[in-house]
Amino acid sequence: GRVADTAPWHGQCLPKPRAGSPSLFCFCVMRPETSELQLLRLQIARRAGIFACEEHSVFSHANETTTLCTASGDLPAMVTEALPAAPSARGSILIPGQTTNSWLNAKTFMEAWDKVITEGRYKRHQWVAKVDPDAVFLPGRLRKRLRDLALPYQLGFYVLNCDMWGRRMFGALEVYSHGAIEAYAAGRSRCKKLKWQGWGEDYYMQQCMEALSVNHAVDFEMVSDFNGHCTHEPPSGCAEGEQAAFHPMKLPDAYLGCMKQAASRDALLNQWPR
C-alpha cells in the first residue's frame, strides 16, 4: 500500500542488540496519525523499547505502511505492517457488554496476532511481549522478572500484571510464554467466537487464555501505570521502581526523560544482568 510519512524525521536503522536471556519477541500496534510514530522513531534511534528485544514487529493501525528507519549498509529499511481493520471506537463501561472506557480494539489485535503467528518469528524465542508504543519498556528488566518467575516457557503461561478489577492483564505490557502463543495459534478460532465486540484487546486475550486453559502467573509490580488503572497505591516513578514498563508517556520529551531516569537507576543498581 501507500507509504505514509507524517513525522518529520527518520534515521538509519541500527543493528540488532546482543541476545539476552530469556529471548524475547516483541511487537506493538501503532497509530501513525498520533505521536506514537515519533515515539517509535525515538526508540529506534536509541535501540530501546521493543527494539532492544531479539526480534520485533511494528504493525500500523492503518491501510498503509509507514517508514520507521532507512536502510543502512546491509540493513534494510524498517516499515510497519498495515492492519486494515475498521477504526476502533471508544468503549464505555456504562454500556452493557462493554468492559472498558478505552479502545474497543480486539478486532485490530486479532489481525496483529494472526500476522505474528503466520510470520512465525516468535517460534525462535522463549517469551512474547506485546507493548503499547507509549509505554517506556525496559526489556532487560522484563528478562530479570521472568528469570525470577522461573516458569518453563515451553508450557503455556501469561502474566497477570494488574491488581484491580478482579486481577487483569493490563495491555501496556502483555507477556506470554512461547507455549501460550502456540496454544493461541492452535485454538484462536475458539477465541474469535467469544463475545469480544465490547472488549479491549487485553481483556480479549485474557479471556482467550482462560478459554484455552493456559496457566497464569502473577507479577503486579511489572507495570507502573500513571493513570492509576492497576495500583491501589500511587504508581512508582521512572526514577524509583523496578518495573519493566512505565505508562503512558505520550510525548517524546516525557518518554525520553523517563527512559533516562530508569537507565540512571539501573546504572546505580549495577544494571540488571541480561
Q: Is residue 16 part of a domain?
A: no
Q: Is residue 15 part of a domain?
A: no
Tell me the pLDDT band of 166, cut-offs 50, 70 and 90.
Answer: confident
Structural domain total, the chain: 1
Q: Is the pLDDT of residue 244 over 90?
A: yes
pLDDT tens, residue by residue, 167-224: 899 999 999 999 999 999 999 999 999 999 888 899 999 999 999 999 999 999 999 9
Q: Is residue 3 part of a domain?
A: no
**Residue 9: exposed, middle, or buried by beta-carbon count in 10 A (0-12, 13-18, 19+)?**
exposed
- Here the CATH number for the domain that contains residue 143 is 3.90.550
Would you state the cell numbers that stand for residue 32, as one nine-digit string? 501513525
Q: Is residue 119 part of a domain?
A: yes
Tell me the pLDDT band of 18, cut-offs 50, 70 and 90.
Answer: confident
Residues ≥6 apart with Cβ < 8 Å to 90: 101, 102, 103, 104
Q: Is residue 141 part of a domain?
A: yes
SS3 229: coil
pTM of the model: 0.88
Tell me the pLDDT band of 235, cut-offs 50, 70 and 90.
Answer: confident
Q: Is residue 254 part of a domain?
A: yes
Of residues 61 and 135, more confidently modeled: 135
Q: Is residue 78 part of a domain?
A: yes
**Residue 244: exposed, middle, or buried by beta-carbon count in 10 A (0-12, 13-18, 19+)?**
buried
Give the domain range for residue 178: 26-268
Strands 245-247 and 136-137: antiparallel
Q: Is residue 2 part of a domain?
A: no
